[in-house]
Amino acid sequence: MELVAGCYEQVLFGFAVHPEPEADGHHEKWAPVADFTHHAHTASLSAVAVNSRFVVTGSKDETIHIYDMKKKVDHGALMHHNGTITCLKFHGNRHLISGAEDGLICVWDAKRWECLKSIRAHKGHVTFLSIHPSGKLALSVGTDKTLRTWNLVEGRSAFIKNIKQNAHIVEWSPKGEKYVVVILNRIDVYHLDTASVSGTITNERRVSSVTFLSESILAVAGDEEVVRFFDCDSLTCLSEFKAHENRVKGMFSFETPEHHVLVTASSDGFIKMWKLKQDKKVSPSLLCEVNTNARLTCLGVWLDRGTDTKESPPAAAEPAPVSKEQSRSNKEESGHAIQEEERQTKPDAEKCSLTGDNNKPTKGNSLVSAKKRKTVEMSEKKRKKKKI
């Protein structure tokens, strides 16, 4: 496995972790070893996502860079967005979905690296998105104070809910039976079958990252050193522990045959791996840590699929189609939910090709080599100076 983390200093770090048995034969020694640094962006990194072959990073430089984990080489850049890349999510090995401050959500073919669809998703920034385990639905939140449900099969908006405030995180549970929406330090828990808030969890500080440890248990990190485990059914805090010396910026959980592991990354520069106990009321124990000496901003874990690991329980709840009756009742109950008709907003779909008549890399093209991208950026800067 490999820990990957982006930072303000424009670098992607990679640390290989190979659990090895200790001398007594009863315990494993986990030791991260520096494997690579990837300096492809020209601004701080803002998002990272992994699949079985690639790590993709988003940045304030408005580009998405692809790193081949098998060959350990730069695989090129995607240049479609006009704004900071705020979120990146893979669904399997075939599709990548990106969101940015330009209000667009883009669906990418992760084999040919072409943009299959570009959707005008929010009137403001897209702040976060999450894909249902079935791959049929996605949720997104933005600075237009809406929570939007997307039909990924048809590539269109299915439902809009006015949540009155700007949410910055949305996350499906492992089986897709519930999801959480985060607004500042408030976490609203929704159930898929009702699409309404079933309860609210309040954290002490603004929430910076969440990850489900099971269908009902949520790990929450905020603008503080502490990580808390909450039960989404009883809405109670099961336990908390000091994870870092500064705010926690990212978390990722996965399972091996021996352990359930939580990985955390912080502004203090450390990436830490924690062994979770079966009873989540008991604080986890530290497996290992590594100091990057950088201000970390985002985290991912590349799991070599040759090893026996899993990110979450496999069974996913099939999202039930929203009936007209259900839509009407939701609208009547809350007064803030709006069933969106296709005629109201038509997704701005663009087919992006790898090869085009124009050899010059532009925002509409798909895969661009890092060398070409830097050449174009330099020429653009020169033109701007001449105009001045």
Q: What percent of the chain has pLDDT over 70?
A: 77
- Is residue 12 one of the residues assigned to a domain? yes
- Is residue 147 one of the residues assigned to a domain? no
pLDDT of residue 22: 66
- Is residue 248 one of the residues assigned to a domain? yes
Q: What is the DSSP letter of 310?
A: B
- Is residue 270 one of the residues assigned to a domain? yes
pLDDT of residue 324: 34
pLDDT of residue 155: 83
- CA distances in angstroms from 189 to 163, 180, 301, 381, 386, listed in the order given: 13, 5, 26, 47, 54
Q: Compute how many other C-beta atoms are within 10 angstroms of the C-beta atom of residue 236.
A: 10
* Weakly modelled stretches of the chain, pLDDT under 70: 22-27, 305-388
- Is residue 180 one of the residues assigned to a domain? no
Which domain range does residue 246 map to?
Answer: 1-39+238-307
The tokens of 333 are what? 């109950």
- Is residue 219 one of the residues assigned to a domain? no
Give the C-alpha separation, 372 to 379, whole Å.
11
The string of pLDDT tens digits covering residues 331-380 is 333 333 333 333 333 334 433 322 223 333 334 545 666 555 554 454 54
The string of pLDDT tens digits covering residues 221-237 is 999 999 999 999 999 99
- Is residue 155 one of the residues assigned to a domain? no
- Is residue 316 one of the residues assigned to a domain? no
Three-state secondary-structure class, residue 85: strand
pLDDT of residue 106: 94
pLDDT of residue 305: 61
* Cβ–Cβ < 8 Å for 354, 366: yes
Q: What is the DSSP letter of 318?
A: P
The tokens of 383 are what? 């033109």
pLDDT of residue 256: 86
The tokens of 3 are what? 């820990």
- The pTM for the full model equals 0.81
The string of pLDDT tens digits covering residues 191-250 is 998 889 999 999 999 999 999 999 999 999 999 999 999 999 999 999 999 999 999 999
**Domains of the chain: total:** 1
Among residues 129, 201, 235, the alpha carbon closest in space to that of 172 is found at: 129
